[in-house]
């Protein structure tokens, strides 16, 4: 991992290692159960391995395509490129690709397997609403995700849930649900489906817990790099407040990508607790930034 000037976060590192270890154990147990129930090992491994490789190596392109983002040149977005150039110089890290998504939802995200293959994308809604200082705070937050490598870890961590969903469909569409084990018990397909649901639930909770912590770590690292935690706090407050004025249909389209966003896009009536949120509560993020301001001796 290339070192940068973003503040290291040992708590984040420990949580990423622990999450990957637990998900690895879960994955091994999942494959073992599938094989024991009669699913062909080669089928399981080919499907799992294929999706992992695609997700890992093409996560940046997939995310940009899914969110309607396109890469922009310095001539097309000079202010945005200038801010990212400044942050790269401050952090001593390679410049990521820069993209803009045509969406009124004010948000930003970073993705990519490492610093050399990273992309930072902001929406037109965010560019219209934030000042230069606030935008710099958001970009520092996103670039810290790249520096900490937590984008790659989240990509791999979410993979197990995808495999569990695939195996459920595999059981349904290949007729495994009609066959029973040698003792005349439950249909094999039903057992696979139940195991898959359990695996998905556990992986979901683990990745959500890691996601909430990594957002706090990115807030802290970004604020310490720019030395302006108040600008990031202002951006958070502004973005979170403006979400209520975004059309519900646009918010619902954005909700599946909340794990990658700077701030969660929640439609009216959606409960953060009910969604097992990808982000910590706004008050907790603002409290942390206020403490950092006090540590730096800034208002």
The total number of structural domains that make up the chain:
1
C-alpha–C-alpha distance, residues 280 and 105, integer Å: 19
In the residue annotation, 142 being an active-site residue is answered as: yes
Please check whether residue 126 lies inside any domain of the structure: yes
> What local confidence, expressed as pLDDT, does residue 68 receive?
83
Catalytic residue chosen out of the listed positions 75, 76, 136, 142 = 142
pTM beyond 0.85: the answer is: no
145 is in an annotated binding site: yes
How do residues 213-255 score in pLDDT, each as one tens digit? 899 999 999 999 999 999 999 999 988 876 555 555 554 555 5
117 is in an annotated binding site: no
Please check whether residue 216 lies inside any domain of the structure: yes
Going residue by residue through the chain (299 aa), what tens digit of pLDDT does each one get? 456 677 777 777 787 777 777 777 777 777 777 667 665 555 666 766 777 777 778 877 877 887 788 999 999 999 999 999 999 999 999 999 999 999 888 889 888 878 888 899 999 999 999 999 999 999 999 999 988 888 778 777 776 666 666 666 666 665 554 455 555 555 666 776 677 777 777 877 888 888 888 999 999 999 999 999 999 999 999 888 765 555 555 545 555 555 555 665 544 444 445 446 778 888 999 999 999 999 988 65
Contact 138, 161 (CB under 8 A): no
Please check whether residue 132 lies inside any domain of the structure: yes
CB under 8 Å to 100, separation ≥6 — which residues? 69, 70, 72, 77, 80, 121, 122, 123, 124, 127
148 is in an annotated binding site: no
Please check whether residue 5 lies inside any domain of the structure: no
Domain around 98: 10-177+184-297
Please check whether residue 264 lies inside any domain of the structure: yes
The strand pairing partners of 123, in sequence order, are 101
> What phi, psi does 274 have (nearest 5°)?
-65, -30
Please check whether residue 2 lies inside any domain of the structure: no
CB under 8 Å to 62, separation ≥6 — which residues? 54, 55
Please check whether residue 4 lies inside any domain of the structure: no
């Amino acid at each position: 991992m290339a070192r940068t000037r973003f503040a290291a976060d040992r708590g984040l590192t420990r949580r990423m290692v622990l999450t990957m270890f637990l998900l690895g154990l879960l994955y091994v147990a999942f494959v073992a159960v599938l094989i024991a129930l009669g699913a062909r090992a080669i089928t399981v491994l080919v499907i799992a391995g294929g999706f992992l490789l695609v997700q890992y190596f093409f996560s940046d392109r997939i995310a940009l395509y899914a969110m309607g983002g396109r890469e922009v040149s310095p001539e097309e977005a000079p202010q945005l490129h200038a801010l990212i150039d400044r942050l790269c110089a401050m952090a001593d890290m390679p410049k990521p690709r820069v993209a803009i998504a045509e969406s009124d939802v004010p948000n930003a995200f970073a993705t990519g397997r490492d610093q050399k293959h990273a992309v930072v994308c902001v929406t037109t809604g965010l560019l219209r609403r934030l000042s230069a200082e606030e935008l710099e705070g958001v970009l520092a937050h996103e670039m810290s995700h790249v520096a900490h490598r937590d984008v790659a870890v989240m990509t791999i961590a979410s993979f197990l849930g995808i495999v569990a969903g695939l195996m459920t469909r595999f059981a349904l569409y290949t007729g495994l649900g009609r066959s029973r084990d040698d003792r005349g018990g439950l249909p094999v397909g039903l057992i696979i489906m139940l195991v898959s649901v359990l695996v998905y639930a556990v992986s979901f909770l683990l990745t959500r817990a890691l996601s909430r912590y990594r957002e706090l770590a990115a807030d802290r690292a970004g604020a310490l790099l720019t030395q302006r935690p108040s600008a990031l706090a202002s951006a958070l407050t502004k973005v979170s407040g403006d979400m209520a004025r975004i059309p519900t249909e646009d918010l619902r389209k954005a909700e599946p990508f909340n794990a990658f966003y700077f701030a969660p896009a929640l439609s009216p009536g959606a409960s953060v607790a009910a969604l097992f949120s990808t982000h910590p509560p706004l008050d907790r993020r603002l409290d942390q930034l206020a403490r950092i301001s006090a540590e730096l001796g800034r208002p």
